[in-house]
Amino acid sequence: MSKLLTVLDAFDDLPQARELREHTYEGLGPAVVDVGCGSGRAVGELAARGARAIGADLDPAMIEVAAERWPAGEFHVADATALPLDDGSVTGYRADKILHALAEPERAVAEARRVLAANGRAVLIGQDWDTFVIDSDDPELTRSLVHSRADATPNPRVARRYRNLLLDNGFTDVTVDVHTIVWTDAAVLPVLGGIGGEGAWFEDQAARARADRLFVAIPFFVASGTRAG
């Protein structure tokens, strides 16, 4: 878990990532569940805004970290498809970088509809794993590595389906926008290590970072909708 936590912390600390999180908090109301909450950053920030902020994650170790870091939040070890919440008990639902890890993401969106009150807002955030943009002297190998990493994920292209998943579950006023995170320094190297592993390709990326010639861009899709009454 420590490696994953390092990657998550590095991403969460980016100014661009902070701006993206702030954007996703809009309109969530006074009671919000953050599904796949990881180390709890969003829960802590929502609680600081005065919301009843609930974090849910399937990893008990992550929940332990989140509870230690953000004591104002409420945290549960829970599956995204079976949240420990009553019907209509929250005004906001947020799922950030989690639906790609689910075999049946449509069940999680159905669960979002169940726990949301009438006119509650759902926000889905995530990357399309085929659309990592990485500058490299070997674009064919880079493309192959990106696609291989995508294929190791249960639902790597689910972000393309966010709009339809919300519509299929009765959400209205559905919108989608894109926010691209750009890295030009070594902070992204743990992510690139997860794509290329050890070897010449990764060493080239590390050398680019040392020479201030690194370029990585990842578009994040944000889809939101209102639960019909």
At 135-190, the pLDDT tens digits run 999 999 999 999 999 999 999 999 999 999 999 999 999 999 999 999 999 989 98
**CB distance 220 to 178 below 8 Å:** yes
Both tokens assigned to 209? 């970072």
Domain ranges of the chain: 2-128+154-180+219-227
Amino acid present at 171: F
Residue owning tokens 């019909």: 228
Percentage of residues in the chain having pLDDT higher than 70: 99
Q: What is the mean pLDDT of residues 102-108?
A: 97
Q: How many CB atoms lie within 10 A of CB 15?
A: 8
CA dist 45 and 23 (Å) reads 12
**CB distance 23 to 123 below 8 Å:** no
**CB distance 219 to 180 below 8 Å:** yes
* Per-residue confidence (pLDDT) for residue 1, from 0 to 100: 61
Q: Domain 2-128+154-180+219-227 is of which CATH architecture? A: 3-Layer(aba) Sandwich (3.40)
Where residue 193 falls among pLDDT bands split at 50, 70, 90? very high
- pTM for the structure as a whole: 0.94
Is the confidence at residue 220, as pLDDT, over 70? Answer: yes
Is the confidence at residue 73, as pLDDT, over 80? Answer: yes
Length of the chain, please?
A: 229
